[in-house]
Amino acid sequence: MGRWPQIVGEELAKHCVPERFDEADDARVLTVVCDSTVWATQLRLLAPRLLARLNEDLGHGTVRLIKVLGPSGPPQRYGRLRAPGSKGPGDTYG
């Protein structure tokens, strides 16, 4: 994880950081968190090439799956001061 910027590039490393690496049941999953949904989508598109690059650098079969997470939004609040029917920040359709 310390070599992340050298492996993926400085620009991608600014917006996407590795959170954890799980080896349970030989799954070998690298979880990466991105600071925006745009960067999460970009990383999902680059995942096959990134996976090949990681395995080339770290050894064949080191990482088998890249799990990409976008930013987590604020929790939705429920209370007496909410307008009925409004969904708040999770409502993307106006």
**Residue 14 confidence (pLDDT):** 92
37 inside domain: yes
Task: Measure the CA–CA gap between 53 and 48, rounded to whole angstroms.
Answer: 9
Domain assignment of residue 31, given as a range? 4-70
Query: How many CB atoms lie under 10 A from the CB of residue 22?
Result: 12
**Domain count within the chain:** 1
Question: Which pLDDT band holds residue 15 (cuts at 50, 70, 90)?
Answer: very high
Mean of the per-residue pLDDT values of the chain? 81
83 inside domain: no
Burial class of residue 34 in the structure, from the number of CB atoms within 10 Å of its CB (0-12 exposed, 13-18 middle, 19+ buried) = buried
52 inside domain: yes
Q: What is the pTM of this model?
A: 0.69
Here the tokens at position 28 are: 């070998």
Answer yes or no: is pLDDT of 88 > 60: no
Answer yes or no: is pLDDT of 45 > 90: yes
